[in-house]
Amino acid sequence: MTSRKGKLKVGIVGCGAIGTGMARGIKKDFGKHCQVTGLFDIAFDKVEHLAKELKLRAVQKKSIPQLIKSCDCMIEAVSAQSTNEIIQKALHAKKDVLAMSVGKLLNAKNLFRLAAKQRCHLLLPSGAIAGLDAIKAASLAGIDSLTLTTRKPLSGFQNDSYLKEQGIDINSVHTETVIFQGSVIEAVKNFPRNINVAATLALASGCQDHMIVRIITSPEYRSNSHEIIAKGNFGEIRTQTENTICPENPKTSYLAVLSGLQMLKQYSMGIFVGT
Ligand SMILES: NC(=O)c1ccc[n+]([C@@H]2O[C@H](COP(=O)([O-])OP(=O)(O)OC[C@H]3O[C@@H](n4cnc5c(N)ncnc54)[C@H](O)[C@@H]3O)[C@@H](O)[C@H]2O)c1
pLDDT tens-place string over residues 50-96: 999 999 988 999 999 999 999 999 999 999 889 999 999 999 999 99
pLDDT digits (tens, 9 = 90+) for 18-49: 999 999 999 999 988 999 999 999 999 999 99
* 212 pLDDT more than 90: yes
Say which amino acid occupies 264.
Answer: L
**What pLDDT score was predicted for residue 55?**
95
Look up the pTM and report it.
0.95
Q: Taking the CB of residue 198, how many other CB atoms lie within 10 A of it? A: 30
φ, ψ at 125 (rounded to 5°): -65, 160
Q: What is the mean pLDDT of the chain?
A: 94
CA separation, residue 173 to residues 72, 167, 168, 214, 225 (Å): 47, 12, 8, 17, 18
78 C-alpha to ligand 1 centroid (Å): 3
102/199 Cα distance (integer angstroms): 6
CB 250 within 8 A of CB 156: yes
Å from CA of 98 to ligand 1 middle:
13
Q: Which pLDDT tens digit goes with each residue over 118-134? A: 999 999 999 999 999 99
Residue 1 has pLDDT above 60, yes or no: no
CA atoms of 247 and 238, how far apart (whole Å): 28
Query: For ligand 1, which residues put their CB under 6 angstroms from it?
Result: 13-19, 40-43, 46, 77-80, 82, 100-102, 127-128, 193, 196-197, 200, 248-249, 252, 256
pLDDT value at position 3?
58
- At 23 the pLDDT is 97
Q: Is residue 2 pLDDT above 70, yes or no?
A: no
Nearest CA to ligand 1 atom 18: 16
**pLDDT above 90 for 178:** yes
pLDDT of 254 over the 60 cut = yes
pLDDT band at 242 (very low <50, low <70, confident <90, very high): very high
Q: Choose which residue among 12, 22, 48, 78 to substitute to test ligand 1 binding: the one with the highest number of ligand atoms within 8 A of its C-beta.
A: 78
Distance 74 CA to ligand 1 centre (A): 14
Catalytic site positions = 226
